[in-house]
Amino acid sequence: MFFIKDVDTPKNMPSRGRALGHGSARLWVYLHQLAETPQFLRPNRKAVREPRPTKVFPAPPLSRCNLRKPMFEYPDAKKVAILGDTHGLLRPELSEHLSGIDLILHSGDVGQMTVLHQLKQFAPVIAVRGNVDDHLKGLPETELVSIQGHLVYVLHVLANLDLDPAIANVAMVVSGHSHQPVIRKAKGVLYVNPGSAGPRRFKLPVCFVRAEFTETGIETHLVQLLG
């Protein structure tokens, strides 16, 4: 028979239920290890009760906005076309504006992979998956791009942004989904929704955004394809 020396438990150690409620990864690791620890035996005495079954605590969900994924870098790109919600339609009016573009950002709802193939004839394309793109394999939910040293975060639905861009040093957040063009700045971060460059929705304009990147800043211009 063997004995295990008593171990003092800190008085301020949080209970399992209260600690689990915080949802942090560090607490999850602590509780997971605690659940696998056998009951301690007192010297010259048998265990008071049978060991409890091992509990497995679920890992914290991965953030939708994962900044640790590999990043695309375009240090020499200056002229960038930002577009979205093409829904399978690449208008000839748009193609006329893509000559001389260094990079194309697509904010989702591509519709058909042929749209991306056609856009790649003009410049490299970074695209994310929209709510109508489930059939397009390989498109990520988000992308992080460095352009002239400025971080640009691309996703489809702005409401799904689960990080603070200002704290993450993101210069621009690109989104889509609403078909409503928006260019605004908040807390030093530029928020851009290029609207829809595809089928017209209601009376909203058909448009995209043209951005000029330099080492000192970003200038954006809304370009209407159809009034």
Tens digits of residue pLDDT in 79-88: 999 999 999 9
With CA atoms as reference, report the closest residue to 2 among 40, 51, 34, 36. Answer: 40
Instruction: Work out the angle at residue 121's Cα, subtended by the Cα atoms of residues 115 and 125, and round it to the nearest 5 degrees.
Output: 65
Q: Which residues contact 176 (CB under 8 A, 6 or more apart)?
A: 84, 85, 107, 108, 109, 130, 156, 157, 193, 194, 196
Percent over 90 (pLDDT), the chain: 62
Note the pLDDT of residue 164: 95
From CA 112, how far away is CA 224, in angstroms rounded? Answer: 22
CB 103 within 8 A of CB 80: yes
> Tokens in use for 121?
């004839």
Mean pLDDT in residue range 209-220: 95
170-188 confidence digits (pLDDT tens): 999 999 999 999 999 999 9
Q: CATH 3.60.21.10 in the chain, residues? A: 72-226
Helix (H) or strand (E) holding 213: strand 206-213
Superfamily of domain 72-226: Metallo-dependent phosphatases (3.60.21.10)
CB 84 within 8 A of CB 108: yes
CB 32 within 8 A of CB 56: yes
11-60 confidence digits (pLDDT tens): 444 444 444 444 444 544 554 555 555 544 444 545 455 555 554 444 43
